Every structure is written in C-alpha cells, then in structure tokens.
Amino acid sequence: MTSRPLSGPAAIAALPRNRLLGEFSLWSADLANMETDLKRIEPYVDLHHIDVADARFTPGFLFFPDFVARIAKSTAKPIHVHLMVEAEIVEEQTRQFIEAGADLISVHAENGDAGLRAIALARDLGAEAGVVLRLETPVSAIDPFIDHVAFVTLLGTSIGVKGQSLSETACDRLIEARSLLRKAGREDRIILAADGGIREQTVPLLRQAGAQTVVLGSLAFGDKNLADRIAWLHGLESRVS
C-alpha cells in the first residue's frame, strides 16, 4: 500500500500552478497490467483521471468504485473522478466514489440542480469538487457552479468516445471560460482543464488558450520515453496573463 500524504481539498490545493499539469486518464492504461502502469507513471503524473459512465448519459459503462479503491491503495497522487452519469444517480455516485478514495469529484453542469447538490455533498464528505461541460453545452452553463468548485473541465470532443479530433471550437471555449472565471473573481482558485482530442499538436494550442491541465491518454501511456514527454508538457507556456 502506498501512503498518500494529502487527500481531498488539500491534495488539489497543493497541485502546481506555475506549469501545465499532467492528468493521466486511466482509461488508456493497460488494465490487465494496472500495477505495472501505475508504477511507471507515478513519478510523472500530477493526478489520476478516472472516467465513470452509466451507459445512459454517455455510451458504454466505465469504471466502478472498487477500481478507484484499488488505485487509491497504489498511488500517492490525487484521484479525479469524472462522473458521466444521469442526474438521478449523481449524488449516490458521488458518495460511493468518495468512499472509495476519490479526492476530486467532477459532475456535469448538464445535471443541473442535482449536480449542485452532488458538489455540496462532495465537500461535506471531505472531497473537492469540479464541474464538466459537454462540447455542445454553452460555456455560460458553468455560472451556477463557479463559486463551489476547484476545477472546470471542458470537453473538446463528443463525450465518451476515444480517438476523436479536437473540435475547432475548443480553444475559444477555454478562452470564454477563463473570462467567466476572471469576471467572478475565481480565476486564481479554479483550475481550467481540457479533456478530449489531446494530441501532440493540440496540447500547445490548448495551453495557449488557458488550459492548466490536460487529460492525457495515449499521448502519455503510448510514449516509451515518458520523462521527455512530461518535460515537454511542463515547458509549454500559456499566453493567458
């Protein structure tokens, strides 16, 4: 078992803010050899990203609380669970995944009031909270959530499908989100994340548009020289002042 020095809001608050973060999607790990992959990425990952899908809000099923519990015992790094689930189960799912070891729970703005209740529950249970937007949802939908979250994640592809190209609207949406955070006086307290369409040629564009973390899949797990890949990631500069 690996010791986790920080958890919940403290773990998220301790993430570096002076460089692009490396958020690794375990959907792209070798699930049959998870322990090996976790050991390989541990020196480089800033936080683990685990997608949860109910086959209704998004195609297919993805990961379960026992999976998160296993990961939590094997890493010292924070765990970010992205709940791609319908509103009627988002609160119970929030509880289950925090009990399993999630440090950060992100719910969809499309869950509406149920999403806000899930965020309040996450914080009551000692975890941090975030909000996610589908590609087709107006960026203004984050407004009711801004005062209550530490992460805002914008999807740059259609939800729940691997291997898609980044939408041509993704960078403009990040710029718009950054403007809303600044207007609300929360820019320094919320990490802006880009998820989907993460490729070598798109990451610099997303960084320049204001992304502070990108959800890495094959770009990380498929790279034999992970140290060089992460050094490249950390060296990308933002044009957002």
8 A C-beta contact, residue 103 and residue 8: yes
Q: Please give the full DSSP string across 107-153, using - where no structure is assigned.
A: EEGGGHHHHHHHHHHHHHTT-EEEEEE-TTS-GGGGGGGGGG-SEEE
Q: DSSP letter for 6, please.
A: -
| 54 catalytic per annotation | no
| 228 catalytic per annotation | no
Catalytic residue among 30, 37, 46, 51: 51
Residue keyed to tokens 């950390």: 234
Catalytic residue among 37, 66, 143, 195: 195
Q: How far is CA 167 from the centre of its chain?
A: 18
SS3 assignment, position 82? strand
CA pair distance 115, 50, nearest whole angstrom: 18
Residues forming the active site:
51, 195
